[in-house]
Amino acid sequence: MVEEITPAGELFCDPDVDRAREFFRAKPRRMESKVTSVKEAVSRFIHDGDYIGIGGFGANRIPTAILHEIVRQGKKHLGLSGHTATHDCQILAAGECFDRVDVAYVVGLEARGLSKAARRLFEEGKLKVTEWTNATLAWRYKAAAMGVPFLPCRVMFGTDTYKYSAAKEIRCPFTGTKLLAVPALYPDVAIIHVHRADIYGNCQIDGIMVSDSDLARAAKCVIVTTERLIPNEEIRREPTKTAIPYYLVDAVIEVPYGSYPGNMAYEYFSDEEHLKAWLEAENDPDTYKEFVNKYIFSVNSHWEYINLCGGMERLSQLRALELMIPLNANGEA
């Protein structure tokens, strides 16, 4: 006999499609310039208590500038979709910005190790945590993007991940197959870094999409940072390439090297030395405080941050590394 389980996890976002429809009905969709600054975007579109979803994948194509600004502006009580949140989670943990998390992957930085500072938040009991998986969080975005309150899938059964989720078991009305229903996730704000965007918010992304196509459609508000702004004509020249159309987007900011110290495919590789320094700084509370002060609070812009980290000289190396172009006779970038 199989035990009937009612998962214990809290549902942080309302999956109701009709309330979401009313919101989207009212959302303005004029094609007009949404170009703004990082400061303005964060102060205008991110409010204490909002639930946020972050594009890219942990330390790849992440919106670093926005994340730093969230910490600088002292945003609090955010909800976080921990959909492979690695360095992004680490940044927000530095500001203790969030107090509830849908966890698929947090506190780790993959092969690089674990963030002590992020772990501390989870271990001190200061957060509300609901467990999910990368796929179920992806499908929760997709449900919202599709305008349905749930999607069925076939994972999580029989595990504690399920017990501490907010999913439900259902049966297929056609085949009787047992399925897991995951509820639509409509984040208040999505923050996504892209390769190219026009001033209206039409975006192109090169390489893997991760879940950003669905995330941009699921979110009630979308903030885009872009490596470069391009003319609308360029978007219209290859409409096949538009990953995020303008009517989803509320703010566009040109932030060159905006994923730094993360990887940006075809542009620059991740700065493993800086990421390592960050992890090491977390070993000691005073060092860590100093580190965060130096690299986030004392800094005014993403360019300033980059200059602290070696500036364009360092970025040239990371660019060579990404493109695998040797910069010296030893074949090193």
Q: In whole angstroms, how close is the CB of 77 to another protein at the nearest point?
A: 16
Q: Which amino acid is at 171?
A: R
User: Residue 175's binding partner, choosing from a copy of itself, another protein, none, with beta-carbon cut-off 5 to 8 A by kind?
Assistant: a copy of itself
Q: Which is nearer to a copy of itself, 5 or 170 (CB)?
A: 170
Using CB under 8 A, list all residues that contact a copy of itself: 11, 15-18, 146-154, 168, 170, 172-175, 177, 179, 181, 183, 205-207, 239-240
Compute how many residues bind another protein; rule: CB under 8 A. Answer: 99
Q: What are phi and psi of 320, to 5 degrees?
A: -65, -40
In angstroms, rounded to a whole number, what is the distance separating the alpha carbons of residues 97 and 186? Answer: 19
Among positions 11, 181, 265, 320, the unique one binding another protein when judged by CB under 8 A: 265
- Contact in structure between 223 and 63 (CB atoms under 8 Å): yes
259 makes contact with another protein (CB under 8 A): no
Report if residue 240 touches another protein, rule: CB under 8 A: yes
Q: Which does 15 bind (CB under 5 to 8 A by kind): a copy of itself, another protein, none?
A: a copy of itself
Nearest approach, Cβ of residue 283 and another protein (Å): 16
CB-nearer residue toward a copy of itself: 172 or 312: 172
Cβ atoms within 10 Å, residue 32:
10
Cβ closest to a copy of itself, residue 140 vs residue 314:
140
* Smaller CB separation from a copy of itself, 86 or 204: 204
78: nearest Cα among 124, 47, 111: 47
Closest to another protein by CB, 104 or 299: 104
Write phi, then psi, for 159 (nearest 5 degrees): -115, 165
Instruction: Taking the CA atoms of 50, 190, 249 and 195 in sequence, report the sign of the dihedral they define.
Output: positive
In the window 206-225, what residues touch another protein (CB under 8 A)?
A: 206-211, 213-214, 217
Token pair for 313: 């000289």
**Footprint of another protein on residues 41-80 (CB under 8 A)?**
56-60
Q: Between residue 187 and residue 206, which ones bind another protein under the rule CB under 8 A?
A: 200, 202, 206
What is the three-class DSSP state of 223?
strand
Encoded tokens for 66: 């926005």
**Contact region for another protein (CB under 8 A) — 66-74, 91-99, 118-126, 189-197?**
118-126
Is 46 within 8 Å of 52 (Cβ atoms)? yes
Q: Is there binding between residue 12 and another protein (CB under 8 A)? A: no
Q: Which residue has the tokens 């704000």?
A: 189
Which of 269, 143, 230, 244 has the alpha carbon at shortest distance from 190?
244
- CA 134/CA 246 separation, integer angstroms: 27
